[in-house]
Amino acid sequence: MRLAGKVAIITGAGSGIGRASALLFASEGAKLVIGDKADSVHETAKLVTEAGGTVTAMQMDAGVEGDVAKMVATAVSSYGGIDIAFANAGVSGGMDGIFETTPEHMAEVLRVNLIGPMLMVKHAGKRMWDQGRGGSIILTASVAGIRSGAGGPSYSASKAGVINLAQTSAQQLSDTGVRVNALCPGLTETGMTKPTFDYARDKGVEEKIGRLNPLRRAAQPIELANVALFLASDQSSYVNGQAIAVDGGLSSSHPVTRQMTGRTAV
């Protein structure tokens, strides 16, 4: 029960990493306020309740300030405060090329992927500061934000911004006890990446998914949720302003077409 007595907010909880985190956080004792633009957030809430957890679900847009402020206010009015905020909602933006990207497209990706986390830091962070008992804010970035090769320009730029936002926010919240960290998933089977996985299965090449990383596979949402749980809990009490890559080792190197082990090419 690593989150016993804690109150957690999770956006993007309708599927994937957000749903897995909601179920895991609740099983560890947290009371939840979960949000998603999709109505599947209510299905997540049902799963949490059936497992014995306490949850309030909201349909909301993570890039709209009023919606984020309402989530924080709901946590306070329903459960008396907020200890954990997981800004997980995001959009892929597609594999747009730089010459095809429009300002309007990039603005929308940034609105959800970067402004959304900023709003969570602003509102949840302020509440945590006022409470005076610290807290943990987790922002979902991506390995695409670490270096090129894992997404289009809009998505990658937005996630690089999230990493810097975590670092800057950790400094801005100095002496408050509020920690801010970024979670950087590699290829993970979620609602956002579903088209990639469906395409591979249709073509009979599912085994090729994730082959660029040393573990030679994609991640499952629970593997990211486990790291989010660590960042949310007191076990990570001295981890702050960090970007944690959970990518099977992909970002440990620049991908190449062959690798050498001793004198043997593999």
Q: How far is CA 238 from CA 106, 161, 170, 245, in A?
A: 35, 23, 12, 17
Measured between alpha carbons, how far is 87 from 253 in angstroms, rounded to an integer? Answer: 28
79 given a catalytic annotation: no
Inter-residue contact 44 to 34 (CB < 8 Å): yes
Supply the residues annotated as catalytic. 155
